[in-house]
């Protein structure tokens, strides 16, 4: 499984890219990915800046919560400034993680998707009730407070709860209306880092977003064709040069 994150560290500024689905086969103290992530966070220097770039369809709640805890600890103990940029899509848990930022930036094409936490459970009624209680706890004690920490007066807790219940997709204009963000005028095109299987779990995906993903895939395919054609042309030119060299030797 590919890592969903990538760190670039400098003395006074570090960068964290959260691109793709936030998932891990084993995210615990003895997991390589977890250790690597924690080590990268620990290496951030005091009083520096961490730039976080998000383009993700979401993923696992508990992995996300672990990341949030590590970032909170770094903010508290290292006095870092956390800036977050929604490069394309911030869906599901990738929509409330950015709310931790001191400064949250969006682009004209940025999209946030909010919904209630999801889970799969197998078992009897007691086990299912426990899962419901856990999901409600995540929503009420983690998600809602984080969203509301960046909310404008236009976003009340009741409106937010309705958004979560309905699986709401927010455009950049709507994000700007409800949350304290800074819009950057640069256009960021959504890249093909969206996990289609995870994406298919959502019920209200805007048609415009589906078209964007389709267009992006077509662009990637076209680029691949161009690369192959370029390689063929170079190979042909090399054969011509080799033939000319052989003729000159005759």
Domain tally, the chain: 2
* 147 and 226 belong to one structural domain: no
Q: Specify whether 80 is located in the same domain as 153.
A: yes
- Whether residues 27 and 62 share a domain: the answer is yes
Q: Are residues 146 and 27 in the same domain?
A: yes
Residues 24 and 94 in one domain: yes
Please tell me whether residues 235 and 185 are part of one structural domain: no
- Both 42 and 166 in one domain: the answer is yes
List per-residue pLDDT tens for the chain, 250 residues long: 557 788 887 778 899 988 888 877 655 555 556 777 888 888 888 999 999 999 888 888 888 888 999 999 999 999 999 999 999 889 999 999 999 999 999 998 899 999 998 877 888 999 999 989 998 998 999 999 999 999 999 999 999 999 999 889 999 999 999 999 999 987 665 544 455 555 566 666 666 666 555 544 444 444 445 545 655 565 566 666 666 666 666 6
Asked if residue 248 and residue 163 are part of one domain, the reply reads: no
Q: What's 4's DSSP letter?
A: S
Per-residue pLDDT, 21: 82
Q: Are residues 109 and 225 in the same domain?
A: no
pTM: 0.76
> What residue numbers bound the domain in which 145 lies?
5-204
Residue 8: what pLDDT? Answer: 85
Residues 220 and 109 in one domain: no
């Amino acid at each position: 499984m590919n890592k969903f994150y990538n760190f670039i560290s400098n003395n006074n500024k570090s960068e964290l890219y959260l691109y793709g689905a936030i998932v891990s086969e084993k995210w615990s103290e003895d997991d390589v990915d977890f250790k690597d992530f924690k080590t990268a966070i620990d290496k951030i220097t005091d009083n520096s800046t961490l730039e976080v770039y998000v383009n993700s369809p979401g993923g696992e709640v508990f992995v996300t919560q672990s990341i949030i805890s590590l970032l909170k600890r770094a903010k508290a103990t290292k006095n870092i400034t956390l800036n977050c940029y929604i490069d394309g899509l911030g869906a599901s848990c990738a929509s409330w993680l950015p709310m931790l930022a001191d400064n949250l930036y969006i682009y004209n094409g940025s999209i946030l998707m909010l919904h209630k936490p999801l889970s799969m459970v197998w078992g009897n009624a007691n086990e299912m009730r426990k899962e419901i209680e856990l999901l409600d706890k995540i929503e009420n004690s983690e998600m809602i407070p984080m969203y509301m920490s960046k909310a404008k007066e236009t976003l009340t807790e009741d409106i937010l709860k309705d958004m979560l219940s309905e699986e709401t997709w927010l455009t950049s204009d709507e994000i700007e209306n409800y949350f304290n963000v800074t819009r950057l005028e640069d256009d960021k095109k959504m890249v093909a880092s969206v996990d289609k299987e995870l994406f298919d779990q959502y019920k209200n995906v805007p048609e415009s977003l589906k078209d964007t993903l389709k267009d992006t895939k077509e662009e990637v395919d076209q680029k691949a064709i161009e690369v192959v054609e370029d390689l063929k042309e170079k190979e042909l030119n090399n054969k011509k040069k080799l033939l000319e060299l052989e003729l000159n030797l005759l």
